[in-house]
Structure 1
């Protein structure tokens, strides 16, 4: 993906996997990529579709957003003709509840090796309050 424009990369990510994926079901939308700093940003609406029974954001939905971000970040920065970046571990801390609105996730590398990537994903609300902090490990495997 490196060598393409920011707009081309975002269009690819927002259409990756076809019409029916979990990211599309949860309306995750990639909105920015910073190639120099190696960060990726996406949003997800919060409402009844992603609530748990108490009417707040389900922790599993936060994990889906975080894993989507960490996996996408890894796959953007490897040779996609030869390798896949696949999730092998996720540790997610739910720090604040959220009833409605939009959350924004930013993923960045903690370590970017040849065979393993570790990323950090922060999910924040419209007031920039930290809702969730996740670390994720991806193994880089041969296709």
Structure 2
């Protein structure tokens, strides 16, 4: 994907009209084009709680997969390829009832046909909420 940091953030924040990330109010907040990293936030609201009043693990996975897939799709030729998730493994390390979580993704391996990413989700104090590894297949359109 071509453009400045601001242009890319604006573009990816507008991807799709009625998508799962938009339903969870996920917002991309930073991209480092040189180091190939991406950051996004998600509010922890009652609508994403599980029955015990804490953030549902699936919501963490949605944030993680949104970051991992977006990172892959930003750094491939989008005219020729899609980056699609093939595997995700998340460890939920700490619960969260409210506030904001921030996810940060970086490549572990960036090959021609496969990307493996690491995603950390942290609370406002910087405490690790969850850790995810994700694999994306890079396929022809």
Structure 1 length as normaliser, TM-score? 0.98
2 CA distance for matches of 1:131 and 1:51? 14
Whole-angstrom distance in 2 between the partners of 1:40 and 1:71:
11
Partner of 1:71: 69
After TM superposition, the runs of 4+ consecutive aligned structure 1 residues lying more than 2 A away are: none
1:36-83 residue CA offsets vs partner (Å, 9 max, x unmatched): 111000000001011000000000000000000000000000000000
Match of 1:102 among 100, 103, 106: 100
For 2:70 and 2:97, the matched residues in 1 are separated by: 26
Matching residue of 2:80: 82
- Equivalent runs, 1:1-143 vs 2, <5 Å: 1-2=1-2, 4-18=3-17, 20-143=18-141
Distance, in Å, in 2 between the alignment partners of 1:128 and 1:50 is 21
How high is the TM-score relative to the length of structure 2?
A: 0.99
What is the aligned length? 141
Within 2, Cα distance between the matches of 1:93 and 1:12?
A: 30
Across the aligned residues of Structure 1 and Structure 2, the Cα RMSD in angstroms comes to 0.5
CA distance in 2, matches of 1:16, 1:93: 27
Partner Cα separation in structure 2 for residue 28 and residue 49 of structure 1:
14
